[in-house]
Amino acid sequence: MTSRTNLITILGPTACGKTALATRLAARIGGQIISADSRQVYRGMDIGTGKDIDEYTVDGRDIPYHLVDIVDAGYKYNLYEYLRDFGSALERVIAEGDRPVLCGGTGLYIEAVLKGYNMVEVPVSKQLRASLQGKSLEELRRILSGYKSLHNTTDTSTIDRAVRAIEIADYYRQNDIVYCKMNTKINPILFGIDIDRDERRRRISQRLQSRLDEGMADEVRNLLDSGISPEDLMYYGLEYKYLTQYVVGDISYDEMFVSLQTAIHRFAKRQMTWFRGMEKRGFVIRWLPYDMPDTEKTDEIISVISRL
C-alpha cells in the first residue's frame, strides 16, 4: 500500500461477509480493524449485533480490532463520539506501523469518517425535548424531514432516536458550526461486497435463525436483568427492539420472528441505498462479487492497492 492510501474501507449490507474479508485482508497486509458499526460498540450486546469475534482470528493469528466493546449497554453512543474515537484509533494503528482497515455497514459513520471531519458535541435541549413530548414517531419523522443535514438520514426507528436526531439537526441549524479536520488526513480506498437481493435475503433469514438458536433471546433477558430498561434496550432497534418486546410478553415468538426478519431486510435495503448515494456524492466504491472466494477478493484488493 502506498503512502497515498492510508485507509482501506470494506463496506456492504448486513450478512454479506464484511468482517471475514476485512480480517483476512488485515492478516495479509499487517493490518488492524477499525469497526464502523454503530451497535458493536456496546459491551454485552454480542449475538444481536453480530460481533463474530471468532472471525478476528485468521490462521491462528489474532487480528487487533478497535471500537468494539467500548461502552456499556444502555449508554447512547453517538456520531460525535464515534468520530472522536475513530481519530484516536486511526492514529494508534498508524503509530504502531500497521495498516488501518475500516470495516462495517453503518453508512453514516463511514461517510462522516471519509469526509475527514470531527464534529462538535451537541448538548441536550430540555426545552426542545419538552416541546416534542407526546408526539408520535411519524410526527417526529415529519418534523425531522424539515431539516437539511446529514443527520436526517440517521436511524429513526424509535421515538428516542427521532428526538435526538431532531435535537442535533436543530442545533446545527441554529449555530454557526465550525468543523475541525482530523489530525490525520484521510486518503481512503473503498471496496464493497456486492450481493444480489435474493441471496442477501436468504443469508439474513438464515443468520437470524442461527442467532436465535445461539441464544439471542437469553442475551436480551440478561441485559434486562442487568438493570437496562426495556425502553433503553429497544432504543438500539432491530434485534433488541423486537426481542425485548417478545421477552417482556408484548408479542409472540412468531410475531417477533416475522417482524424482525422484515425489519432486517428493510435495514439492508437502506444500507445499500446509502452506499449507492455515496457514489452519487462522489465516492468511488470498487464492488466485489459476494460469491468470489475471500482469498480471491483479498488478492484483488491487494492488486488494486499496489497499482495506486
Task: Identify the pLDDT of residue 180.
Answer: 52
Residues in Cβ contact with 73 at an 8 Å cutoff, skipping those fewer than 6 apart:
42, 43, 44, 45, 223, 226, 228, 233
Q: Name which of 84-88, 122-126, 179-183, 264-268 the model is least confident about.
A: 179-183
Which spans in 175-227 are helix H? 197-214, 216-225
Confidence of residue 39 (pLDDT cuts 50, 70, 90): very high
Task: Identify the pLDDT of residue 165.
Answer: 84
d(CA 290, CA 292): 6
Q: Is residue 123 predicted with pLDDT exceeding 50?
A: yes
> What is the C-alpha radius of gyration for the chain, rounded to an integer number of angstroms?
19
The angle subtended at Cα 161 by Cα 274 and Cα 283, nearest 5°, is 20
Residues 175-222 have pLDDT tens digits of: 765 555 567 888 999 999 999 999 999 999 999 999 999 999 999 999
Report the relative pairing of strands 57-58 and 61-62 from DSSP bridges.
Answer: antiparallel
Q: In this prediction, what percent of the chain has a pLDDT beyond 90?
A: 79
Residues in Cβ contact with 153 at an 8 Å cutoff, skipping those fewer than 6 apart:
107, 108, 274
Residues 57-103 have pLDDT tens digits of: 999 999 999 999 999 999 999 888 999 999 999 999 999 999 999 99
Confidence of residue 9 (pLDDT cuts 50, 70, 90): very high
Write down the residue that cell numbers 445461539 correspond to: 214
Report the relative pairing of strands 42-43 and 71-72 from DSSP bridges.
Answer: parallel
pTM of the model as a whole: 0.86
E strands, the chain, are 7-11, 31-36, 42-43, 57-58, 61-62, 65-66, 71-72, 99-104, 117-118, 180-181, 188-194, 285-289
Three-state DSSP state, 194: strand
How many CA atoms are closer than 13 Å to the CA of 29, on its beta-carbon side?
27
Q: Is residue 44 predicted with pLDDT exceeding 80?
A: yes
| Count of beta carbons in the 10 Å neighbourhood of residue 80 | 15
Cell of 77: 453512543
Residue (of 31, 132, 39) closest to 90 by Cα position: 31
Confidence of residue 153 (pLDDT cuts 50, 70, 90): very low
Task: Identify the pLDDT of residue 149.
Answer: 53
Report the relative pairing of strands 61-62 and 31-36 from DSSP bridges.
Answer: unpaired
Task: Identify the pLDDT of residue 160.
Answer: 86
Task: Please state the rounded mean pLDDT for residues 36-52.
Answer: 97
138-144 long-range contacts, Cβ below 8 Å, gap at least 24?
140/166, 144/169
Task: Identify the pLDDT of residue 116.
Answer: 78
Q: In this prediction, what percent of the chain has a pLDDT beyond 70?
A: 92
Residue (of 115, 85, 91, 149) closest to 9 by Cα position: 115
Task: Please state the rounded mean pLDDT for residues 259-263.
Answer: 98
Residues in Cβ contact with 246 at an 8 Å cutoff, skipping those fewer than 6 apart:
217, 252, 253, 255, 256
Residues 14-32 have pLDDT tens digits of: 999 999 999 999 999 999 9
Taking all residues of the chain, what is their mean pLDDT, rounded to a whole number?
92
183 near 207, Cβ under 8 Å? no
